[in-house]
């Protein structure tokens, strides 16, 4: 794909006109199969392997920044007891497979989109994560990318709107035609009905489209129902891993940590 770019760099705007947006050189089913295979390999290398590395680091409480208010509750709620081993296990699972994993997945996938898809590229424009040529309406889009339908907070709404408006004003000053339809929010999973009130405010009050789940993937690639294929690829990778032994080993080391013993001692 070839782009002609005009505008500026750094804190100002570049608008790229796609001279050729076409995936007919590769049949849709062949393209979907290739992307699915590549996505599975990416998930294994960039998400699972990083997750295992993060798990290995949790042999000491210094890596956990334990919340003393919540740790006992989480431990009792998930294990039914408060011992060094149960506390260590609950902390490791919460940190490794919830907070850390969600962050890793979202960050790594956003960075990797231009690698997977020829019509997606990283943006030099402040306030924009990626730019892409929409396979549904053919327009060039400036997008902020979010992990899930609950990701943004109330306080994120106005800054997103202001960033998009700043880009529009700069474009107008430089004689470039952009309107609200060129600015979108992309959400990696979920459907329109899953979107939080904060996403809906960006859509309903400020007029920005929010593309989520299959709708986003179709606009990025032109492929119907790609999300289900990508989810399946992740599931196939997941079946290769049984980390119970490693979790038990790391938990055993963490259980001997002085801070873990101190927390547990209050319940004896």
pLDDT of the residue at 228: 93
Structural domain including 152 reads: 3-265
Question: For residue 52, what pLDDT is reported?
Answer: 95
Number of domains the chain contains: 1
- For 94, phi and psi rounded to 5 degrees? -60, -45
Across the strands, what pairs with 131?
Answer: 121, 142
Q: What is the pLDDT of residue 173?
A: 86
β-bridge mates for residue 18, sequence order: 3
Q: What is the pLDDT of residue 20?
A: 34
Q: How far is the C-alpha of 120 from the C-alpha of 142, rounded, in Å?
A: 10
- Residue 196: C-alpha distances to residues 140, 154, 187 (Å): 26, 10, 11
Residue 219 sits at the vertex; the CA angle it makes with 216 and 223, to the nearest 5 degrees, is: 100
CA 40 to mean position of chain CA atoms: 16
Looking at the DSSP bridge assignments, the partners of residue 121 are 131
Could you read off the pLDDT tens digit of each residue along the chain, which spans 268 residues? 333 343 434 444 444 443 333 444 457 888 899 999 999 999 999 999 999 999 999 999 998 989 989 999 999 999 999 999 999 999 999 999 987 888 889 889 998 998 888 789 898 888 899 999 999 999 999 999 999 999 999 999 999 999 999 999 988 888 888 899 999 999 999 999 999 999 999 999 999 999 999 999 999 999 988 999 999 999 999 999 999 999 999 999 999 999 999 999 998 8
pLDDT for the residue 126: 86
Question: At residue 79, what are phi and psi to the nearest 5 degrees?
Answer: -120, -20
Residue 160: per-residue pLDDT: 96
Contacts 24+ apart (CB under 8 A), 29-38: 31/221, 31/223, 32/223, 32/226, 32/229, 35/116, 35/117, 35/221, 35/223, 35/226, 35/229, 35/230, 36/226, 36/229, 36/230, 36/232, 36/233, 37/233, 38/116
| CATH value at residue 192 | 3.40.1560.10
Residue 2 has what pLDDT? 33
Torsion of CA 183, 185, 191, 193, to 10 degrees: -80
pLDDT given for residue 26 in this prediction: 58
């Amino acid at each position: 794909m070839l782009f002609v770019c005009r505008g500026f760099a750094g804190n100002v705007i570049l608008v790229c006109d796609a001279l050729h947006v076409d995936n007919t050189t590769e049949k849709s089913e062949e393209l979907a199969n290739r992307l699915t295979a590549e996505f599975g390999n990416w998930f294994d290398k960039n998400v699972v392997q990083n997750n295992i590395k993060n798990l290995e680091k949790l042999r000491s409480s210094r890596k956990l920044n334990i919340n003393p208010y919540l740790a006992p509750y989480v431990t009792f709620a998930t294990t039914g007891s408060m011992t060094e081993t149960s506390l260590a296990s609950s902390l490791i699972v919460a940190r490794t497979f919830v907070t850390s994993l969600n962050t890793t997945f979202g960050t790594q996938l956003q960075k990797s989109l231009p690698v997977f898809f020829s019509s997606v590229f990283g943006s030099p424009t402040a306030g924009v994560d990626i730019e892409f040529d929409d396979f549904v309406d053919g327009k060039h889009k400036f997008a902020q990318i979010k992990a899930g339908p609950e990701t943004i907070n109330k306080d994120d709404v106005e800054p997103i709107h202001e960033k998009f408006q700043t880009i529009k004003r700069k474009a107008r000053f430089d004689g470039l035609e952009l309107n609200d339809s060129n600015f979108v929010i992309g959400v990696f999973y979920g459907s329109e009905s899953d979107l939080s009130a904060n996403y809906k405010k960006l859509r309903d009050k400020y007029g920005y489209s929010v593309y989520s789940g299959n709708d986003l993937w179709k606009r990025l690639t032109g492929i119907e129902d790609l999300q289900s294929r990508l989810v399946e690829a992740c599931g196939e990778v997941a079946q290769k891993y049984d980390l119970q032994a490693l979790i038990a080993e790391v938990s055993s080391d963490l259980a001997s940590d002085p801070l873990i013993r101190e927390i547990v001692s209050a319940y004896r």
